A = this chain, B = another copy of it.
Amino acid sequence: MALLVQKYGGTSVGSVERIDLVAAKVAAARERGHQIVVVVSAMSGETDRLLKLARSVDPRPQPRELDQMLATGEQVTIALLAMALARRGVPARSYQGWQVAIQTDQAYSKARIRNIQTERLLADCKAGTVPVVAGFQGVDEAGNVTTLGRGGSDTTGVALAAALKADECQIYTDVDGVYTTDPRVEPKARRLDRITFEEMLELASLGSKVLQIRSVEFAGKYKVPLRVLSTFQEGPGTLITLEEHSMEEPLISGIAFNRDEAQLTVSGVPDRPGIAAAILGPIGEANIEVDMIVQNVGADGTTDFTFTVHRNDHERAVEIARRVAQELRAKGVRSAVDIVKVSLVGVGMRSHAGIAAKMFRVLAEEGINIRMISTSEIKISVVIEDKYLELSVRALHKAFDLAESRIV
Chain A contact residues, CB within 8 Å of chain B: 16, 19-20, 50, 53-54, 56-58, 61-62, 64-66, 68-69, 71-72, 75-76, 78-80, 82-84, 86-87, 93-94, 96, 98-99, 143-145
Contacts and interface: CB of A to CB of B under 8 A. Distances in A.
A101 to B, nearest CB: 9
Given A57-B20, A57-B87, A79 B96 contact: no
Given A58-B84, A84-B58, A87-B58, A16 B53 contact: yes
A83 B79 CA distance: 27
The 4 closest A-B pairs by CB, nearest first: A69-B79, A72-B72, A65-B79, A68-B79
* A66, A72, A84, A143 pick with most chain B CB within 10 angstroms: A72
20 contacts: A16-B53, A16-B56, A53-B80, A57-B80, A57-B84, A57-B87, A62-B82, A62-B83, A65-B82, A65-B83, A65-B94, A66-B79, A66-B83, A68-B82, A68-B94, A69-B75, A71-B75, A72-B75, A75-B75, A99-B144
Contacts of A79: 54, 65-66, 68-69
Interface of A (DSSP majority class): helix
A75 B96 CA distance: 13
A129 to B, nearest CB: 12
Contact of A57 (B16, B57, B65): B16
A111 to B, nearest CB: 16
Copies per complex of this chain: 2
Given A72-B75, A99-B143, A65 B53 contact: no
A83 B98 contact: no
A14 to B, nearest CB: 13
A58 B80 CA distance: 9
A142 to B, nearest CB: 9
Contacts of A84: 57-58
Contacts of A56: 16
A78 to B, nearest CB: 7
* A56, A78, A80, A94 pick with most chain B CB within 10 angstroms: A80
Contacts of A16: 53, 56-57
B83 A61 contact: yes
A94 B64 CA distance: 9
B71 A83 contact: no
A339 to B, nearest CB: 34
A80 B54 contact: yes
A242 B258 CA distance: 68
Contacts of A68: 75, 78-79, 82, 94, 96
A16 B54 CA distance: 9
* A53, A62, A66, A96 pick with most chain B CB within 10 angstroms: A62
A301 to B, nearest CB: 48
Given A66-B83, A68-B96, 10 more contacts: A20-B57, A54-B79, A57-B87, A62-B83, A62-B86, A65-B80, A65-B94, A68-B82, A68-B94, A99-B143
